[in-house]
């Protein structure tokens, strides 16, 4: 039998393909419904760790001589593994953890183009702080309106402390993370500017970015 991936501890209310995989194995083992009856449930119900699945697992746990709690953990996974068929194994393999929640800019989600919500949140989770998204008065060194000046903005600024620009370890890490993202056009931090399409990082001599990282998206 192929090895069965253990995805996570599964408890009340958890959802996902792995929930269906575990439930399918419980059905095959005999603690759950018949596979034909289980297959008639909606996808949402099959992939939600509801009371029914907790009761199935408790029945299996009792048979293994352990205190039943309806929580699917690593030890009980090892005991159930022989009952996973190819479809259940595939369901376990395809499960991915949900992405972390988005962090709303202080000016609101509507102030920033949707394509930049995720990378903005990445920076915030690195403890960089919000210095703004939309600013109708923001101009480039050329005098033309910047990506902050459109609504929703195609740019955001994330602040750092102390104000050491490219020498700031977390901000520099974010700089290189952002450069790999397809929604980004360029990033400025301190006296460095990086262009996503080329990967080129070069000197930026216009100043004004020692205390924050600036990200501009693709328009």
162 cis-preceded (ω within 30 degrees of 0)? yes
Question: pTM to 2 decimals?
Answer: 0.73
Q: Say if CB 126 and CB 94 are below 8 A apart.
A: no
Q: Say if CB 175 and CB 166 are below 8 A apart.
A: yes
| Domain residue limits, the chain | 17-94, 109-217
Give pLDDT, residue 106. Answer: 97
Give pLDDT, residue 2. Answer: 60
Q: Low-confidence residues of the chain, pLDDT below 50?
A: none
């Amino acid at each position: 039998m192929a090895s069965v991936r253990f995805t996570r501890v599964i408890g009340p209310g958890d959802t996902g393909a792995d929930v269906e995989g575990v439930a399918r194995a419980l059905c095959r083992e005999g603690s759950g419904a018949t596979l034909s009856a289980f297959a008639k449930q909606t996808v949402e119900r099959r992939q939600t760790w509801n009371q029914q699945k907790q009761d199935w697992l408790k029945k299996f746990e009792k048979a293994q001589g352990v205190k039943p709690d309806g929580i699917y953990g690593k030890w009980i996974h090892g005991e159930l593994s022989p009952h996973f068929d190819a479809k259940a194994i595939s369901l376990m393999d395809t499960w991915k953890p949900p992405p972390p929640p988005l962090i709303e800019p202080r000016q609101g989600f509507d102030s920033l183009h949707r394509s930049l919500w995720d990378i903005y949140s990445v920076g915030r989770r690195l403890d960089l702080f919000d210095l703004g998204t939309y600013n109708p008065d923001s101009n480039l060194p050329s005098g033309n309106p910047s990506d902050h000046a459109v609504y929703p903005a195609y740019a955001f600024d994330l602040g750092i402390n102390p104000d050491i620009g490219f020498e700031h370890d977390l901000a520099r890490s974010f700089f290189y993370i952002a450069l790999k993202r397809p929604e980004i056009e360029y990033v400025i931090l301190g006296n460095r500017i990086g262009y996503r399409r080329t990967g080129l990082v070069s000197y930026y001599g216009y100043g004004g970015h020692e205390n924050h990282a600036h990200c501009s998206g693709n328009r």
